[in-house]
Amino acid sequence: MPFALLASTFATVFLAELGDKTQLAIVTISGTSTRPGAVFAGSSAALVLASLLGAAAGGSLSAVIPTNALQLAASVGFLVIGVRLVQRSSKQEAEESLAE
């Protein structure tokens, strides 16, 4: 197994998950439970399954669609999401300033 790929994948997923909705949900569930080990096991299994599905889908898609096209589609998707979040935030700020 290529260590560089393993390390970069770990770092990317770890950093992407910090402060994510998933982590916040886990903190909330763990805070209302007396069994943090069960919360950890359940959330770990869910993340492993989601990652397995993503890796399988990515491997299958790359066999049909060129890698450059997949990277472009992912980039455009993230760009669209980012632009929409900025627009929504700007709209909320404008509404809040009008309400004052």
Q: Where are the domains of the chain?
A: 1-64, 66-100
Q: Please state the rounded mean pLDDT for residues 1-28.
A: 84
**H helix runs in the chain, sequence order:** 3-17, 21-31, 36-64, 67-99
Q: Please state the rounded mean pLDDT for residues 21-49.
A: 90
**How far is it, in rounded angstroms, from Cα 100 to Cα 89?**
17
Q: At what angle do helices 21-31 and 36-64 cross, to 10 degrees?
A: 160
User: Which pLDDT does position 49 carry in this prediction?
Assistant: 94
The Cα-based distances of 90 to 58, 87, 96, 97 in angstroms read 34, 5, 10, 11
Question: How does pLDDT run across 37-90, given as a tens digit for each residue?
Answer: 999 999 999 989 988 998 888 778 878 888 888 889 989 999 999 999 899 888
What is the residue type of 36?
P
Identify which has the larger pLDDT, 8 or 18: 8
User: Which pLDDT does position 48 carry in this prediction?
Assistant: 92
